[in-house]
């Protein structure tokens, strides 16, 4: 158990340091989601009332697309110098590697959300009518739902031809219930018209089911030959 | 060709033609919908067959991960392929019926949407199999199949929360159906199942032969490169 935590921490620290020095993922995610925000506001040109209704969807679609950038480079980065092969033959538990990558992606996407949300509020002049304190909970559960499966499927797609395009093809169909739940919960908070309880419960169920599935199957996928 | 295969082929042909005759001529016309309802004799049996094939795919994927038996992987592949075909039939015949009866082609109702999401998941499964190469394909595909199966109840609940418009299940749902209709329905399901079995069987044989051929060719190339 201690070994697992130590290796997870070491791998996570390495990834964070790499990102801190290059800022490749976070910069491209930020600019990408900024573009989505601007294009959507041209396309819909919404009033304040309409914004409240569609903003939940817009925010999460922007984050989902932007997260693909971080997820794609998760394992692609380890292909250089055969680092992934080195991981495979090292005695380190596979799940510590998976957890480090998933937590790393969680941090990147959370930073992205923290920086982009104020911009959304400004551009769409949003003012929530429901319980705002629930938004961070929804954001955390939703982000984990995206990155846990995203990290797993990135490990699959990195082994295929056309790996960059393969990740969204695998991730989006499976993520449909999670995305529905995030969008509906966010819209519920923004409009204050209905309860978030069912959607938060669904997100929790999704997170639990797929975190267990990922931890259960990751070693098999990593060692697939 | 094995005699069992020929018997199944003949049985399928007989059942399909008898089922067609029963569905179009013998089955009574629906009181409210008229003749347009007859599409359910194809729509519903296709849906049941598709779901059955996807369940077999799930079981075969787990069996492959546990036993690493290549036959389980071939079974998972063929059931996914044929399942996607049946699921496509469901998604095409549904709107054809819905347009005259509901007045709309499509609605985001729970059964329609879950079937569509199921179709999307299995199409992505086939994409993965097409785009990955070598011995890792079966493992990656089996992992995805398990994720897909875990997703199904979540998809269903997420959409169920919006109210549903699809006709409630008449079989086992407390609804009433003319026994003659039920008879034709089950007959057509049997026909579709036989047909699915026949296609899966042929596809299974082809895939096994294909793999044997590839193996033989690889061995041949190896021998030619280093004689002895």
Are B127 and A169 inside 8 Å of each other by CB?
A: yes
Averaged pLDDT for residues A106-118: 92
Eight-class DSSP state of B23: I
Facing B158 at nearest CB: one of A181, A209, A224:
A181
Of A176, A148, A144, A211, the closest CA to residue B154 belongs to A176
Top mean-pLDDT range of A51-65, B5-19, B66-80: B66-80
Enumerate the residues of chain B whose CB falls inside 8 A of the CB of residue A148.
none
- How many cross-chain Cβ pairs, A to B, lie less than 8 Å apart? 88
Q: Rounded to an integer, what distance in angstroms lies between the CA atom of residue A201 and that of residue A197?
A: 6
Query: Please, which residues bridge with residue A122 across strands?
Result: none
What pLDDT digit, counting tens, does each position of A5-63 carry? 888 898 899 889 988 998 888 888 899 888 888 888 888 777 767 777 788 888 899 99
pTM of the full predicted structure?
Answer: 0.86
Helices then strands, each counted (H, E), chain B: 6, 0
Answer with the residue of higher pLDDT: B63 or B173: B63
The pLDDT of residue B172? 46
Q: How far is A21 from chain B (nearest CA, A)?
A: 33
Alpha-carbon Rg of chain A, whole angstroms? 18
Are B143 and A156 inside 8 Å of each other by CB?
A: yes
List the 31-70 stretch of B: residues with Cβ below 8 A of A.
65
Query: Please, which residues bridge with residue A160 across strands?
Result: B132
Domain residue ranges of chain B, discontinuous segments joined by + = 12-27+36-164+176-225
Q: Are B18 and B187 in contact (CB under 8 A)?
A: yes
Q: How far is A171 from chain B (nearest CA, A)?
A: 9
Eight-class DSSP state of A97: H
Averaged pLDDT for residues B42-60: 92
Q: Is B140 on the interface with A (CB under 8 A)?
A: yes
Eight-class DSSP state of B37: G
């Amino acid at each position: 158990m201690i070994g697992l935590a130590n290796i997870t921490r070491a791998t996570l620290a390495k990834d964070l340091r790499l990102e801190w020095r290059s800022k490749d993922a976070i910069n491209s995610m930020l600019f990408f989601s900024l573009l989505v925000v601007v294009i959507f506001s041209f396309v819909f040109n919404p009033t304040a009332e309409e914004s409240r209704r569609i903003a939940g969807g817009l925010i999460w679609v922007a984050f989902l697309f932007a997260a693909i950038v971080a997820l794609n480079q998760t394992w692609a980065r380890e292909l250089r110098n055969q680092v992934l092969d080195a991981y495979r033959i090292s005695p380190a538990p596979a799940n510590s590697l998976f957890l480090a990558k998933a937590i790393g992606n969680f941090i990147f996407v959370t930073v992205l959300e923290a920086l982009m949300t104020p911009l959304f509020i400004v551009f769409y002049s949003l003012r929530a009518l429901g319980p705002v304190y629930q938004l961070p909970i929804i954001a955390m559960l939703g982000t984990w739902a995206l990155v846990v499966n995203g990290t797993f499927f990135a490990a699959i797609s990195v082994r295929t031809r056309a790996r960059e395009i393969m990740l969204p093809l695998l991730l989006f169909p499976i993520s449909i219930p999670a995305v529905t739940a995030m969008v509906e919960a966010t819209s519920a908070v923004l409009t204050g018209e209905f309860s978030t309880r069912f959607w938060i419960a669904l997100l929790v169920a999704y997170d639990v089911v797929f975190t267990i599935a990922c931890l259960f199957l990751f070693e098999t996928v990593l060692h697939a030959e | 060709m094995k005699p069992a295969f020929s018997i199944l082929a003949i049985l399928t042909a007989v059942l399909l033609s008898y089922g067609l005759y029963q569905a179009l001529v013998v089955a009574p016309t629906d009181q409210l919908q008229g003749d347009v309802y007859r599409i359910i004799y194809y729509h519903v049996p296709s849906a049941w067959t598709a779901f059955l094939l996807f369940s077999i795919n799930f079981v075969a994927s787990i069996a492959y991960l546990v036993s690493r038996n290549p036959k389980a992987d071939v079974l998972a592949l063929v059931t996914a392929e044929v399942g996607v075909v049946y699921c496509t039939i469901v998604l095409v015949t549904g709107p054809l019926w819905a347009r005259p009866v509901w007045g709309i082609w499509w609605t985001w109702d729970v059964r329609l949407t879950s079937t569509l999401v199921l179709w999307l998941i299995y199409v992505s499964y086939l994409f993965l199999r097409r785009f990955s190469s070598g011995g890792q394909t079966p493992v990656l595909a089996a992992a995805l199949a398990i994720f897909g199966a875990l997703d199904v109840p979540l998809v269903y609940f997420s959409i169920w929360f919006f109210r549903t418009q699809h006709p409630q299940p008449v079989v086992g749902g407390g609804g009433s159906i003319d026994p003659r209709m039920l008879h034709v329905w089950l007959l057509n399901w049997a026909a579709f199942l036989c047909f699915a079995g026949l296609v899966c069987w042929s596809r299974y044989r082809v895939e096994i032969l294909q793999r044997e051929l590839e193996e033989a060719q690889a061995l041949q190339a190896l021998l030619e490169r280093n004689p002895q």
